[in-house]
Amino acid sequence: MKFIIFNGSPSGKNGSTGIMGNAFLKGAEKAGAQVEHVFLSEKNIGYCKGCFTCWFQTPGTCVMKDDMEELMEKYRQADVVCFATPVFTWNMTANLKAFVDRLAPLKSPLIVRREDDFDLADAVSKTQKFVIISNCGFPGKNNFETLKQVVASCNPVLEIYRNCGKLLKSKDEQVQRKVSQYLEAVEQAGYEMAASGEVSEKTRKSLEMELMPVQEYVRYLGM
């Protein structure tokens, strides 16, 4: 079983999103999965031109020649695809959006209707499961609302949203103890996904743990 994270944090390996992603993959690897963490900030990914050549002239193949060729292959081969991003202005980062737009060759120009909604058909039926990992700088759950709606279209089996994300990189020992406890829960989620294809209610609940009361966090940020 292959797990791949496409991480859209501009901070790449040094980001809080990366810390969460590493914990998730560590758990998956312990359960026997092959894992890969792709940092999109290190890749050359041009913006989709919107030419639709990948639908009408060369179905499934993009005209642009850059790192997407290699990444698309990795995407196709994965069993579990994880989109990871910090919240930037309520949404995914531009890095991840550029990547997701370039997945257009996976769609076909056939409109399908589901009740009152319309979508494009997949060129090849999806076999992957989708996971979302995100962190944001502010406290409160509202910062993830836009992102949640955006990612709903890929029907994620698991969504891990971490507010107060700055704490993930804290040097304070007391904070680090709490963060370690949280990252163990993220690791457990990765383990369960790889071992059984699903994540228990107990683990899902522990992913919601508070890292620090809001007032204390605001003081911690110095804002």
Least Cα distance to 52 among 43, 61, 41 occurs for 61
Q: Is residue 15 close enough to count as binding ligand FMN by CB under 6 A? A: yes
**Smallest separation, CB 33 to ligand FMN (Å):** 23
Per-residue mark of binding to ligand FMN, 163-202 (x: CB under 6 A): --xx------------------------------------
Per-residue mark of binding to ligand FMN, 126-145 (x: CB under 6 A): ---------xxxx----x--
Question: Please, which residue, 78 or 164, has the CB nearer to ligand FMN?
Answer: 164
Instruction: Quote the strand ranges of the chain, DSSP E.
Output: 2-7, 34-39, 80-86, 107-114, 117-122, 129-135, 158-162
Measured distance CA(119)–CA(114) in Å, rounded: 8
Amino acid of residue 50? G
Residue choice 44, 50, 89, 114 for contact with ligand FMN (CB under 6 A): 89
In Å, what is the CA distance from 181 to each residue of 31, 113, 168, 192, 221?
A: 19, 44, 11, 17, 21
Measured distance CA(46)–CA(65) in Å, rounded: 9
Question: Please, which residue, 86 or 190, has the CB nearer to ligand FMN?
Answer: 86
Q: Give the binding site for ligand FMN (CB under 6 A).
A: 9, 11, 15-17, 86-90, 135-138, 143, 165-166
